[in-house]
Amino acid sequence: MRTIGKKIALVTLICLCTTPLFAQSASFRLAKNIDVFFSILQELDLYYVDTVNHDLMITNAINDMLESLDPYTVFIPESEVSDFDFTTTGQYGGIGALIRKRDNSRIEIVEPYEGFPADKAGIKAGDVVLAVDGVNVNSKNVSDVSASLKGEKATDLTLKMLKLRTKDTVDVTLKRAQIQLPSVPYSAVLEGGVGYIYFSTFTKDCFDEVKNVVNQLKIDGATSLIFDLRSNTGGLLDEAVKIVNLFVPKGQEVVNVRGRVGRPIKYKTESQPLDVNIPLVVLINSLSASSSEIVAGALQDLDRAVVVGQRSYGKGLVQSVRPLPFNEKLKITTAKYYTPSGRCVQAIDYTHRNPDGSVGKIPDSLVHKFTTRAGRTVFDGGGVTPDEALPSAASPQILQRLYEKNLLFDFASRFYVENDTIEIPSKFKLKDDDYQKFIEFVKEAGFTYETSSSHALNVMIASLKREKYYEDLENDLQALSEKITPNVEKDLLRFKGDIVNLLEAEIVFRYYYQRGRMEISTAYDAEVLRAKEILLNRELYKSFLKPPVTASK
């Protein structure tokens, strides 16, 4: 009995010693939690009072799990794979048009892409899609209609359209094509030989497009360049490295990628550059992210360009796409990237961001200094900080509300119906009598709006009434309310310049597509004008890139 007792005690001791070690292993905890998860699903399936939607529950669980990591690690179900592929390739099969739902009923064409099937078939912005291949679309949501318009290249479809200009209902038969939107929607040589490139996305082979554009601008007389990365949310890292290579020598480190698995990877320029001397300004804003930040950050760290605008988004994470069963995918954050100076532009805090998602205020204690190759000071902590910071262009509130109510779009549609042609974008100007027509158009629509000031006053009045102070201040508050309550007609005249700029761009777009809109917009864009000013003053340009002056002893 004593021997048996010793054996039992020994087994018990072994279990007591090994179980905690085993229980603490990551693989055991993972297996345990998966087992618990499936057990819960099984119990819900058997005993829950209502029928359980397994697909929805599991998808929600996956999304919540990934959301706890970072905003960029995401599950891509099979139904969304084609849309995801478009973000990296810029390609899809379809008709080449942007649509939206209006008034919860009609599907409206917002933009036909120049040169693609919709445009070639005579479809215009403001036309309404009534049916796709005989199926009425009024009751469908915009994503379902968009899916029905997409399909294999060279397949036919028929659209029943309500035409904006004639008000006729017509059948339009067209053939789907491979739609690949340009990475450079617009480029031009501005006054003073300043080349301008608006670069929208880092898709596959965009480097070749950018290289060709730079070469053509130089042929056309460009002696300096504005590289506009505003609102470019990024894309392929390899393409970003090659674009930096256009302006810096071969063998230069552009970005260093460090992950948990494997050694750090240094991405260096591999080819002879196109031009290492042409003066360069890079424009960024709070929506310039990922690969845009690699380009802006590298060119800044290498003292190759002056960066102008607002602090960029703050996405210094690298994602890889992993295949999953059943043609689904996982986009997973696998590394952080570091610019040549050694800084990571990743926002330290995912949660405290600005309304547009960009990095918010960072405490000074969390920001570290780095130096460019010439010894200039740059910082980490979130985004690329411009060499010259410009305030974000704040649109008057009336302009935002006119846009939200589609009144700019709708007036441009009416103008297009009434005018067969207009002058070229650089010469087109909205006449005063046309602007007066716009004022009448807005009034007829019953447009009203509330400024931030009047909203704040109404909130305060409600609070004063609750706290019984209102009666003592009633006369003063009413007088103040009268002064700050918007007068639509007066405000349409007060902000005429801003409104006319957008109206002209919207109208020109109807005749000259996106390139026309960009041409007219750059003429009054304050950040483009400042970039041009810097480039045309070579001493000013050089002053941004000079190392700090050190006092002699």
Least Cα distance to 181 among 109, 107, 123, 115 occurs for 115
Catalytic residue status for 315: yes
Distance, CA of 345 to CA of 380 (rounded, Å): 5
Distance, CA of 208 to CA of 229 (rounded, Å): 17
Distance, CA of 25 to CA of 390 (rounded, Å): 52
Whether the CB-CB separation of 488 and 442 falls below 8 Å is answered with: yes
Distance, CA of 31 to CA of 238 (rounded, Å): 37
Catalytic residue among 290, 291, 341, 358: 290
Indicate the Cα dihedral angle 266, 272, 274, 280, nearest 10°: 40
Distance, CA of 297 to CA of 303 (rounded, Å): 10
Structure tokens at 404: 């939200």
Read off the DSSP letter of residue 323. Answer: E
H or E, element range at 352: none
Catalytic residue status for 83: no
Whether the CB-CB separation of 118 and 126 falls below 8 Å is answered with: no
H or E, element range at 91: strand 91-94
Distance, CA of 309 to CA of 358 (rounded, Å): 14
Least Cα distance to 116 among 197, 188, 179, 66 occurs for 179
Catalytic residue status for 468: no
Structure tokens at 385: 């900080």
Catalytic residue among 228, 301, 303, 491: 301
- For the chain, what is the largest distance between any 2 Cα atoms, rounded to a whole number of angstroms? 111
H or E, element range at 22: helix 2-24
Phi, psi angle pair for 80, to nearest 5°: -110, 5
Distance, CA of 225 to CA of 189 (rounded, Å): 9
Distance, CA of 205 to CA of 278 (rounded, Å): 23
H or E, element range at 535: helix 526-536
Distance, CA of 85 to CA of 516 (rounded, Å): 29
Catalytic residue among 315, 341, 387, 491: 315
Whether the CB-CB separation of 528 and 275 falls below 8 Å is answered with: no
- If you search the block for the tokens 């001397």, which residue do you land on? 277
CB neighbourhood size of 268 (10 A):
15
Whether the CB-CB separation of 198 and 214 falls below 8 Å is answered with: no
Residue 99, classed as helix, strand or coil, is strand
- State the catalytic residues: 290, 301, 315
